[in-house]
Every structure is written in C-alpha cells, then in structure tokens.
Amino acid sequence: MATIGFIGLGNMGGGMAANLAKAGHAVHAFDLSADAVARAQDAGCTPAASAREAVAQAKIVVTMLPAGRHVRAVYEADVFGAAPDGALLIDCSTIDGASAIAVASAATDRGYLMVDAPVSGGIAAANAGTLTFMVGGAADAFAAAEPILAAMGKAVIHAGAVGAGQAAKICNNMLLGATMVATCEAFLLAEKLGLDLATFYAISSQASGQSWSMTSYCPVPGVGPETPADRGYEGGFASALMLKDLKLAIEAAQGADASVPMGATAGALYQALANAGDGGRDFSAMIRFLDGKAGR
C-alpha cells in the first residue's frame, strides 16, 4: 500500500480520496476548504494543513482541481520540490491540453513520473469507485498509475502520450453536453405534447433516444435513478464546469480545423445559462433554462 498525497477534495475528489483510503492506502488529504478536509478525515484520510504537507512523504500525488490555472499553480508552488524525488504525479482534473503537457513536461524535467488522468462518471461514480479514467502518459507512468486508479474506477484506459487523456475527455464531454441539451429539450417537448414524463422515460430509455444523460443522469426530478434533479440541481457537475469543457473542446476544434456545430451550440447554450445566473447549478439544470426558469 502506498502513501498518497491528495489535493482537491470537492464533489469528485472527496469520494475518490475516500476510496483510496478504503483500499488501504495512507492518504494525506488537503483542500482549501476546511469542511472538505474534515469530511476526508471522517472517510479515513489523514488531514494535512497544506498542500506541501500532504505531498511531503507521498510516493504518489493525486490532484482533482477545477481548471488548468489551479493545476499549474498547485504543481509549481506546492508539489514540485515538495514531493519526494521520483514520485508519480496523477492529475485527474479536466484541463486544457496545453496546461497538461506543460505541467507534465516540467514534472519530467524534475525527475517525476506524470500522467493526465481525467475521469468520467460524475459524483455517484466517484463515491462508488466506478469512474472511467482516460490516461495520457508514457508506458511506465501508465503502468505505475493503473493500480492506483483501479481503486477508484471500473475502467482505466491508456489513451496515448501526455495530453491524450485530456483530448479524450473533452471529446467525451462535448458529446455529453450536446446529449444533455437534447435530452432536456426532448422531455420539455414530451410534456407539452401531453405525455407523462415517467412513461416517456420508460419508452425512450429502452429506445433509440437512450443516452447516459437520460438513463444515468435524468434531468427530470422523480424520473429514473436519483440524480441532482432530485436535489434541486445542487451538487453534481456544475454547469460552469461543463461550459469550461465545451470551451476547451471548441478551442481544440478550431486549432485542429474540425467542424463541431453541435458542440458549439451546446457551448452557446451553457454560456447563456451561466449568464442567467445558473452556472453553479448541476449541468442538468439546462432543462430549467430551456423552460425559461433559469436564475429563479
């Protein structure tokens, strides 16, 4: 079992750190939020007073932070030089490919192994240890990261060289953003056409309109499995983070000369939702926006 420094104990990182502790690892956990650190302690982690303290004895460092600027800042200020020589660094955040490549290159220059290992699955999967990891990095770094990631997930897939994990993640989330918008508008139309929404769910979840957005993350309260819709769209995957991912995908598409009209439309709608004041709500709150209820 390894000594692990874990930084970023939010909606996703909290459950992930808990699963590493449950698997028997010694997890030294830090977040800027004292409440998040206290929850990690309740889940079997050792609380750290700073990020530097969390990584000081770590053979492995895991980070789960909001965006590229947080990842760059934490590695530059708190991990490089503080984590022991030769440590394996695993960034599970969803960030832009350029930041992922820059941080990994700086890590390699300092003698660390590093992978980008963004996740799919949402908080339910983070808590249950059933995430899907898409990993970018050299073969030896992937081999070292795989058993650690397996304690938090159901699938760990080597996507390619450093940055390939982030590339896979933004393509996946562009698809997710577009299917969530489509799922929301289908439910709103079904309602206007007089259909019972549970009945429409029973039909479409077993028909060709089925998607993860419908069957694992239904945007309608009281329909399908329990989701953030049942908690007033609180918690979950913030719309602002979905907007971040869509912007990353659109920017990458421009750089690669790829046509992404559905992704661009989803991006414009999530921007409008955020402008309406709902960026802090779960991304399934798109249904409220399309129904003219955002910001209320």
Please say which residue, 200 or 282, places its beta carbon nearer to ligand NAD.
Answer: 282
Catalytic site residues?
169
Q: Is beta strand 119-120 parallel, antiparallel or unpaired with respect to 3-7?
A: unpaired
**Cα(114)–Cα(117) distance, rounded to whole angstroms?**
10
Find tokens 């590695």 and name the residue. Answer: 75
CB-based contacts of 11, cutoff 8 Å, min separation 6: 123, 126, 235, 236, 237, 238
Site for ligand NAD in 29-58 (CB under 6 A): 30-33, 36, 51
| Min dist. Cβ of residue 208 to ligand NAD (A) | 26
Which residue in 44, 97, 122, 219 binds ligand NAD (CB under 6 A)? 122
For residues 195 to 234, the per-residue mask of contacts with ligand NAD, x marking binding by CB under 6 A and - elsewhere, is: ----------------------------------------
**Cα(295)–Cα(275) distance, rounded to whole angstroms?**
9
Angle at 241 (CA atoms; ends 171, 5), nearest 5 degrees = 95
User: Is 243 among the residues that bind ligand NAD (CB under 6 A)?
Assistant: no
Please say which residue, 61 or 190, places its beta carbon nearer to ligand NAD.
Answer: 61
Piece of 5-13, 106-114, 256-264, 266-274 that binds ligand NAD (CB under 6 A):
5-13
Please say which residue, 64 or 87, places its beta carbon nearer to ligand NAD.
Answer: 64
Question: 160-181 in b/e burial notation, b at 16+ Cβ within 10 A?
Answer: eebbbbbbbbbbbbbbbbbbbb
Please say which residue, 70 or 110, places its beta carbon nearer to ligand NAD.
Answer: 70
> Which chain residues interact with ligand NAD by CB under 6 A?
7-13, 30-33, 36, 51, 64-66, 70, 74, 93-94, 119, 122-123, 236-237, 241
